[in-house]
Amino acid sequence: MSKFEKKQIIKKSVDPDRWYTDVILRGELADYSPVKGCMIIRPYGYELWEFIQSYLDGKFKELGVKNAYFPLFIPNGFLKREKEHVEGFSPQLAVVTVGGGEKLSEPLVVRPTSETIMYDTYSRWIQSWRDLPLLLNLWNNVVRWEKRTYLFLRTTEFLWQEGHTAHATFEDADNFARKILSIYEKFDEEVLAIPVIVGRKSESEKFPGAAITYSLESLMPDGRAIQMGTSHHLGDNFAKAFNIKYLDKNGKQQYVWQTSWAETTRVIGALIMSHGDDQGLVLPPAIAPIQVVIVPIKSEEKVLKYCRSLEKELRGAGIKIFLDDREEKTVGWKFNEWELKGVPVRIEVGVKEIEAGELTVCRRDINSKLKIQMSRLSGGQANVKSEIVNLLTDIQKNLFEKMKKFRDENTHDVSTFEEFKGIMSGKKGFIRAFWCQNKECEKRIKDETKATTRVLPLNAKKENGNCIYCAKPAQYRWLFAQAY
Amino acid sequence: MSKFEKKQIIKKSVDPDRWYTDVILRGELADYSPVKGCMIIRPYGYELWEFIQSYLDGKFKELGVKNAYFPLFIPNGFLKREKEHVEGFSPQLAVVTVGGGEKLSEPLVVRPTSETIMYDTYSRWIQSWRDLPLLLNLWNNVVRWEKRTYLFLRTTEFLWQEGHTAHATFEDADNFARKILSIYEKFDEEVLAIPVIVGRKSESEKFPGAAITYSLESLMPDGRAIQMGTSHHLGDNFAKAFNIKYLDKNGKQQYVWQTSWAETTRVIGALIMSHGDDQGLVLPPAIAPIQVVIVPIKSEEKVLKYCRSLEKELRGAGIKIFLDDREEKTVGWKFNEWELKGVPVRIEVGVKEIEAGELTVCRRDINSKLKIQMSRLSGGQANVKSEIVNLLTDIQKNLFEKMKKFRDENTHDVSTFEEFKGIMSGKKGFIRAFWCQNKECEKRIKDETKATTRVLPLNAKKENGNCIYCAKPAQYRWLFAQAY
């Protein structure tokens, strides 16, 4: 620690890019590794991932999804079976050519995603309508070679979950892909406090091999978009490539319909970027490893005893609490440390507070000091418990509302391409504009403005409009943004 | 499923090797994969791993260990820094030579274990005595190229946890390595119901780079040993290789002392082999994904209703229960299925049972039918709950005792090498014999009998004896066995 004793970070308002790196390194969420493009996730960052795992895992299991494990390696030939899939992933592969000291006769690809290795097996497991739906999920690591990497947001190796299901009909698969989308939406908005726009990707932006890619798009404070998760309807593309058939109730062979879906460690990057401020991280209570920190102002036994009883009381109410009674650190260092690490609520306890029967409470999201009344009688502490619980709920809500307000204020309905270009060369943000769904227009918009189609929102209304680029008739307003 | 509809397995008593594979494939614990030496872990097998993860993770956290993540890839040069380490692992490496379509200037090794990549970083993180102990654990996948593989027991890729700690003194490290050993011992014996002998490895059997390797050894029904887990005292070997120093309280630079420790998916192989019988798996209740299955003998509404109320009642007592009310399967198929899958207790409910106010209960471990009295009054059901809970406890205990009896009966104190050879060419088992600790004797014993030194048990007494091979003076009886 001694190297980082000061833990100064640059202000977000001064240099958001350096701020982002500073807050991750100094806040001990992650660290660079000796392997180019790969990161180390440190305990404080990994606790966020553990919570994400446990939340999503529970929701998937409620839908009847079961976890399994498939190999890290994929025989090179497997990837080639689905044409779009291999074209999409080929430039990003890490390839093992030597094993046990010998050159391999067929190179092994380190999985960039597991469709191909899994679906070969699905074709053996699935025989009859009784075997459907098959609902599996994997928690694992994948590798996609990246030229430019950012901590959490884009790394050569990353952690994720990948779900892979097989269904009897197109509609069953579509319903399931949308159910997963709802889980992600609820998680992003209610836990991460990041508002998302849910929709479907354009042909050129969809997952290689998918029929439909659904995605959740959030807007970062710098006006750029982050894709928070994807749920793909794979149609029968892979079923045909891997010959996954079932005997239906009428004794007829049918191809299955499939989905795959993923949320990754990148959402931690979005979380950091969304809520953090000049002092460091700001974590929504619903995901914070520590929700409340108690800092004794003096290390007198009287104060410490009071703090311990308060700690016990609040832990009893299910609050994730940490009493920072370390003697080798100053009060000022502790304030700085827990602000940097984004703990939602800090309680300060000194002789003054004890004598007045009060607590000094600071909320991290608006950086103001509240004073909470607290009776010295233990019977009166129920009051403190519920006040702190309410405060945490309020912080959670406030963080979401703040991001939603920002998102809404930076979502522009645009009707001329000049206006479009102006926004994208300035404050950026989301643009809603008519697009004719021609790939050529999409490409030119990207070349001229760096903005890509994010999604066609699921709730988009059919209208009569004209493509923002070519002015030909267009029926829907698509969502555009520059993206991470 | 239809392919496996019969799910016949060979008898364990007829062909234990084929039985082992049969029970894994037909019991849907795992499957072969298209990648040589790598396996697919299916949901029923993965549920065992999830339970192992959650149990051990909780125990590690009680010791203050935190989880983190380090990269899958290790730069080739890193492995070379600790001499014994690189010699030990070199023959087993998978090497990535191509990334993103280009030949890499320095090849990347797929981690066989993470000491080297982690400790390079530890040297940056650890500066002062305040940074110690550093207690981290990873849950991840590793790759060790294997010529001959067995499902679960030896696979090229496997899942595990690897803990890595750094301490201020040799003694602190040793205490910690032994604390972990106790966690593994308790887990192996109380959860997996597999008795273990705990001890330290010989010089030639220890982990490459360790000062001391502690290990837990179990005896399988075929008389061969399985190493259930290891906890290494790394001394200051890696600290010197990676320059991990701290400033002590007197302002002096000191090397740290380290431990690393692991338990892997291989214990699932030991679990299967230990308790299974001619009918299939037998799972100890403490780890069984399903502890009790209820099979309605008739699918009449009256019976089903009775079953559902029983299911609810038992679930309320914290029992993992499954009511198998599938209509497309026969009662006989269900009996066979749940025996194959090793569910500890089966409850059969038919009209007869309801009318008599009784339950027919079968315990999987001794394959006898018990009859449990059950009052029809809901008030009387507390009786059933506690009887079932007691029964599960009894099965757990019985499985352990059975294995312990077998182990003890097959542990031989041997005083001549003729006797040693006789046992190893016959029923095998554990042999306790004096050994002079000379590598040459160890090697010759192995060449002539296939038996290796397993451990010097921690509770071994100092005696005056003679080496079983060379007859030179020897002070301790070591544990020998043929090993998986």
B219 has which bridge partners?
Answer: B225
Stronger pLDDT, A382 or A330, i.e. the higher one? A330
CATH number for domain B292-392, candidates 3.40.50.800, 3.60.15.10, 3.40.50.10470, 3.40.50.300: 3.40.50.800
Provide the pLDDT for residue A383.
80
Cα–Cα distance measured from residue A390 to residue A397, given in angstroms and rounded to the nearest whole number:
11
Chain B residues within an 8 Å CB radius of A78: 34
Secondary structure (H, E, C), chain B: CHHHCCCCCCCCCCCHHHHHHHHHHHCCCEEECCCCCCEEECHHHHHHHHHHHHHHHHHHHHCCCEECECCCEEEHHHHCCCHHHHHHHHHHCEEEEEECCEEEEEEEEECCCCHHHHHHHHHHHCCEHHHCCEEEEEEEEEECCCCCCECCCECCEEEEEEEEEEECCHHHHHHHHHHHHHHHHHHHHHHCCCCCEEEECCCCCCCCCCCEEEEEEEECCCCCEEEEEEEEEEECHHHHHHCCEEECCCCCEEECEEEEEEEECHHHHHHHHHHCECCECCCCCCCCCCCEEEEECCCCHHHHHHHHHHHHHHHHCCCCEEECCCCCCCHHHHHHHHHHCCCCEEEEECHHHHHHCEEEEEECCCCEEEEEECCCCHHHHHHHHHHHHHHHHHHHHHHHHHHHHHHHHCEEECCCHHHHHHHHHCCCCEEEEECCCCHHHHHHHHHHHCCEEEEEECCCCCCCEECCCCCCEECCEEEEECEC
Cα–Cα distance measured from residue A282 to residue A271, given in angstroms and rounded to the nearest whole number:
9
Say yes or no: domain B411-481 is CATH 3.30.110.30: yes
Provide the pLDDT for residue B194.
98
A411-481 and A292-395 share a CATH fold:
no
Nearest CA in chain A to B57: A50
Interface test with B, best of A5, A35, A129, A243 (most B CBs within 10 A): A35
CB atoms within 10 A of CB B58: 10
Note whether A473 contacts B: Cβ–Cβ < 8 A: no
Of B91, B92, B130, the CB nearest to A328: B130
Mean pLDDT of B384-402: 95
Note whether B40 contacts A: Cβ–Cβ < 8 A: yes
Mean pLDDT of chain B: 94
Mean pLDDT of B461-471: 97
Note whether A147 contacts B: Cβ–Cβ < 8 A: yes
Flag whether pLDDT at A51 surpasses 50.
Answer: yes
Flag whether pLDDT at A2 surpasses 50.
Answer: no
Note whether A375 contacts B: Cβ–Cβ < 8 A: no
Q: Tell me: the pLDDT tens digits for A56-110? A: 999 999 999 999 999 999 999 998 888 888 888 999 999 999 999 999 999 999 9
CB atoms within 10 A of CB A362: 20
A274 backbone dihedrals φ, ψ, rounded to 5°: -65, -50
Provide the pLDDT for residue B46.
98
CA-based nearest distance B104→chain A, Å:
10
Provide the pLDDT for residue B5.
54
Flag whether pLDDT at B218 surpasses 60.
Answer: yes
CA-based nearest distance B137→chain A, Å:
9
Structure tokens at A406: 């920002």
| Residue among B455, B433, B377 at smallest CA distance from B218 | B455
- 316-335 of B, contacting A, C-beta below 8 A: 328
Cα–Cα distance measured from residue A105 to residue B456, given in angstroms and rounded to the nearest whole number:
43
> Confidence band (pLDDT; 50, 70, 90) for A47?
very high
Interface test with B, best of A96, A151, A246, A322 (most B CBs within 10 A): A96
Mean pLDDT of chain A: 94
| Residue among A327, A362, A296, A339 at smallest CA distance from A7 | A339
CB B5, CB B19: distance < 8 Å: no
Chain B residues within an 8 Å CB radius of A151: none
Flag whether pLDDT at A368 surpasses 80.
Answer: no
Task: With CB atoms and an 8 Å threshold, state whether B46 touches A69.
Answer: yes
Q: Tell me: the pLDDT tens digits for B296-310? A: 998 899 999 999 999
Note whether A107 contacts B: Cβ–Cβ < 8 A: yes
Task: With CB atoms and an 8 Å threshold, state whether A99 touches B93.
Answer: yes
Note whether B41 contacts A: Cβ–Cβ < 8 A: yes
Say which CATH topology domain A292-395 has: Rossmann fold (3.40.50)
Task: With CB atoms and an 8 Å threshold, state whether A33 touches B94.
Answer: no
Provide the pLDDT for residue B356.
86
Say which CATH topology domain A11-275 has: BirA Bifunctional Protein; domain 2 (3.30.930)
Task: With CB atoms and an 8 Å threshold, state whether B1 touches A121.
Answer: no
Q: Tell me: the pLDDT tens digits for B309-359? A: 999 999 999 999 999 999 989 999 999 999 999 999 999 999 988 888 888
State what percent of residues in chain B have pLDDT above 90: 88
Of B1, B49, B159, the CB nearest to A131: B1
Note whether B6 contacts A: Cβ–Cβ < 8 A: no
Task: With CB atoms and an 8 Å threshold, state whether B136 touches A98.
Answer: no
> Confidence band (pLDDT; 50, 70, 90) for B371?
confident
Cβ contacts from A onto B, under 8 A: 182
Provide the pLDDT for residue A380.
53
Chain B residues within an 8 Å CB radius of A157: 71-73
Mean pLDDT of A331-353: 95
Note whether A382 contacts B: Cβ–Cβ < 8 A: no
| Residue among B149, B167, B262, B166 at smallest CA distance from B207 | B262
Flag whether pLDDT at B82 surpasses 90.
Answer: no
Interface test with A, best of B73, B74, B328, B333 (most A CBs within 10 A): B73
Chain A residues within an 8 Å CB radius of B140: 141
Interface test with A, best of B46, B69, B158 (most A CBs within 10 A): B69
Provide the pLDDT for residue B381.
54
Mean pLDDT of A2-22: 82
Nearest CA in chain B to A32: B121
In A341-438, alpha helices (H): 351-356, 381-409, 417-424
The amino acid at residue A334 is K
Task: With CB atoms and an 8 Å threshold, state whether B93 touches A110.
Answer: no
Provide the pLDDT for residue B2.
40
Q: Tell me: the pLDDT tens digits for A18-45? A: 999 999 999 999 999 999 999 999 999 9
| Residue among A87, A99, A131 at smallest CA distance from A244 | A131
Task: With CB atoms and an 8 Å threshold, state whether A33 touches B117.
Answer: yes
Q: Which residues of B217-244 are buried (b: 16+ CB within 10 A; e: fewer)?
A: bbbbbebbbbbbbbbbbbbbbbbebbeb
Mean pLDDT of A125-140: 97
The amino acid at residue B76 is N
CA-based nearest distance A308→chain B, Å:
19
Task: With CB atoms and an 8 Å threshold, state whether B110 touches A93.
Answer: no
Flag whether pLDDT at A293 surpasses 80.
Answer: yes
Q: Tell me: the pLDDT tens digits for B140-191? A: 999 999 989 999 999 999 999 999 999 999 999 999 999 999 999 999 999 9
Which phi-psi region, left, alpha or beta, contains residue A148 (left: φ > 0; alpha: ψ -120 to 50)? beta
Least confident of A311-315, A336-340, B82-86, B234-238: B82-86
Q: How far is CA B429 from CA A432, B3, B205, in A?
A: 74, 38, 19
> Three-class SS of residue A367?
coil
Flag whether pLDDT at B100 surpasses 90.
Answer: yes
CA-based nearest distance A458→chain B, Å:
33
Nearest CA in chain B to A120: B34
Nearest CA in chain A to B110: A96
Flag whether pLDDT at A173 surpasses 90.
Answer: yes
| Residue among A76, A142, A62, A138 at smallest CA distance from A104 | A76
Mean pLDDT of A384-410: 96
Interface test with B, best of A73, A93, A124 (most B CBs within 10 A): A73
Please name the CATH architecture into which domain B2-275 falls.
2-Layer Sandwich (3.30)
Cα–Cα distance measured from residue B402 to residue B409, given in angstroms and rounded to the nearest whole number:
11
Angle at A464 between CA A459 and CA A466, to 5 degrees: 105
Structural domain boundaries in chain A: 11-275, 292-395, 411-481
Mean pLDDT of B387-402: 96
Chain A residues within an 8 Å CB radius of B42: 68
CA-based nearest distance B192→chain A, Å:
21
Flag whether pLDDT at B38 surpasses 60.
Answer: yes
Nearest CA in chain B to A3: B127
Nearest CA in chain A to B135: A43
Mean pLDDT of A442-447: 98
- What value of ipTM does the predicted structure carry? 0.95
> Confidence band (pLDDT; 50, 70, 90) for A4?
very low
> Confidence band (pLDDT; 50, 70, 90) for B1?
very low
Of A71, A120, A146, the CB nearest to B38: A71
Note whether A190 contacts B: Cβ–Cβ < 8 A: no
Provide the pLDDT for residue A381.
54
B195 has which bridge partners?
Answer: none
Provide the pLDDT for residue B3.
39
Chain B residues within an 8 Å CB radius of A322: none
Structure tokens at B324: 């198998």
Nearest CA in chain B to A43: B68
Chain A residues within an 8 Å CB radius of B34: 75, 78, 117, 120-121
Chain A residues within an 8 Å CB radius of B73: 35, 38, 94, 157
Provide the pLDDT for residue A65.
98
CB B252, CB B245: distance < 8 Å: no
Chain A residues within an 8 Å CB radius of B98: 93-95, 97, 107
Nearest CA in chain B to A76: B35
Q: Which residue has the tokens 């006769």?
A: A105
